[in-house]
Amino acid sequence: MRSHYSSQVKPELEGEDVILCGWVHEKRDLGKLKFLVLRDREGFIQVTAKKGVTRDDILEDINSLSRESVIQVKGKIKLSKKAPNGLEINPSNLKVINESGSPLPMDVTQKVDADMDTRLNNRFMDLRKPEISSIFRLRSAVINRSREYLTGEDFIEMCSPKIIASASEGGTDLFPISYFDREAFLAQSPQLYKQMLMASGLDKVFETTTYFRAEEHDTRRHLNEVSAIDLEMAFIESEEDVMRVLENLTVEMIKTASSCKKELETINREIKVPRLPLNRFTYDECLNLLAQEGKEIPWGEDIDTEGEKLLGKLLQEKQGIELYFITGYPLESKPFYTMPDGGKYSKSFDLGFKGVEVSSGSQRIHSHDLLVERIRHHNLDPENFEYYLKCFQYGMPPHGGFGLGVDRLMMQLLDLSIRDVVMFPRDRHRLTP
């Protein structure tokens, strides 16, 4: 139906006929001159009709068109200093494909602000705004780069089940579902399945996946359906091997976002690409830094949201560090599959980005007996993990991995809320659209 997108209409095509399709963004009537701004996926272009030059039926159609109607325009390209981008189209044909209803549920031109609920209730229209669609162009570019990078590093893409019989990591934050004549759950993560693959010989795997977490949060950084890149790799010396993959992957994703100049200009953002290797801070060092600022966290407890935020602020303001690792967490604060490091520490890490945890990972336990011991220590029943434990009895290599939250990474990258960077977010209040 179209020969060009608006961005493909260049001055060197002056005098040529083009066909464009899109939405009526705005109209102006100056009597003998009528202006229509057509918006498509790539931007805007002005259509200029003149009485005595343009056919009367086209002038009448422009008069009757409502904003956000879908149209097809055929016409010649003409250079014009007064037109946006320095050119316009003089229409020889205009077809109304589908007329929009009126009044509109929200203003696409953004002359009238809309609150988040109105935007999400009308997400299809919210996404027509270039400032919003640019976020998801960036997101697409970042996810595509993650796949390119990992496949280039010999990782194999996997796809784990999203309907499971028991908790992936223990705990009760699960969504139960009816699975024929029995109860099942939506998966918290692909954790157990990607570990099982480490015993299969497919020793470097990743998945662009979805987590389902039945946690009753109501914050700018939590959702109940979460997108992530989950990875596992075998034959590692320590968790440091996994961290190197994570930092290289994350910096590649950020670098890709920083190269999307048009999108960043549209949403008025600049992105700083971190230098490698990333700084590493131990859990103990972080507790000391926070204590100096009056934030006391008892040893053994997780760094809470307030502590994470303060730590990110301290590192950013005093050392210019935005992306950083926190290592050496207490073993008791980590899941049962996390490898111990001596008595009370674990071979685990988090990746912090401007005061928000965007990734968590570790070296895993590869000894069957130690794994059973840790499952019991967490008050879980090894029988519920029989299918998982079986692979540890027949040759499991040392391995580790991480989950990198795509939503949180995009949120911190663009300094937005998590609902801004997810097309159709799911939280405790929202199940539609």
Active-site residue list: 213, 215, 221-222, 357, 360, 408
Q: Which residues contact 34 (CB under 8 A, 6 or more apart)?
A: 27, 28, 48, 49, 50, 54, 59, 62, 63
Using alpha carbons, select from 257, 220, 291, 33 the residue that is nearest to residue 137. 257
DSSP state string for 136-156: HHHHHHHHHHHHHHHHHTT-E
Q: Which residues contact 169 (CB under 8 A, 6 or more apart)?
A: 188, 189, 191, 335, 336, 337
DSSP H helices in 24-128: 56-64, 116-121, 123-126
Cα separations (Å) of 242 from 8, 235, 249, 325, 358? 43, 11, 11, 12, 15
Sign of CA pseudo-dihedral 233, 238, 243, 248: negative
The tokens for 295 are 């934030």
> Reduced to 3 states, what is the DSSP secondary structure of residue 194?
helix
CB neighbours (10 Å) of residue 76? 15
The tokens for 347 are 């071979």
Q: What element of type H or E holds 381?
A: none
Using alpha carbons, select from 23, 45, 255 the residue that is nearest to residue 148. 255
Contact predicate 68/104, CB 8 Å: yes
Determine the distance from the C-alpha atom of residue 419 to the mean position of all C-alpha atoms in its chain, rounded to a whole number. Answer: 10
The tokens for 363 are 């070296």
Buried b (16+ CB within 10 A) or exposed e, 251-267: bbbbebbbebeebbebb
Query: Do the strands 323-327 and 279-282 form a parallel or antiparallel pair, or are they unpaired?
Result: parallel
Question: What is the separation, in whole angstroms, between the first and last Cα of the chain?
Answer: 29
Integer Cα distance of 305 and 284 in angstroms: 17
